[in-house]
Amino acid sequence: QVQVAESGGGLVQAGGSLRLSCTASGLTFDDYAMGWFRQAPGKPREGVSYITWSGSSTFYADSVKGRFTISRDNAKNTLYLQMNSLKPDDTAMYYCAAAKVPGVYYAADPEQFGYFGQGTQVTVSS
């Protein structure tokens, strides 16, 4: 079955950087769009950034544009999220997700993702 696992979270001061990583198994990684989501306590889960299977197209939530960069290395079955200029509002559990269907990408549509990892905590102190 499809398994997704995140790593790289931690505690960082405001203005700092972190890089999250995500590995996926049980699927042909370079056939699937991938995404990052986050959920803060008491708030709904939100889509942060998505990327096509080839990396040719990306989506960013307005709240992270210009600060976060999504990328992937298909040779390593790994997805990344480089997070710079972190703010306390970025504090959340971050989840990696794979698309439900290979070869399909609907820009900005969070419902296209169906396989989520357990999450990695990111905490930004002020």
CA–CA separation, 80 and 68 (whole Å): 10
CA–CA separation, 16 and 11 (whole Å): 10
CA–CA separation, 108 and 47 (whole Å): 8
Nearest CA to 51 among 79, 84, 17, 93?
79
The pLDDT tens digits along the chain (126 residues) read 999 999 999 999 999 999 999 999 999 999 999 999 999 999 999 999 999 999 999 999 999 999 999 999 999 999 999 999 999 999 999 999 999 999 989 988 999 999 999 999 999 999
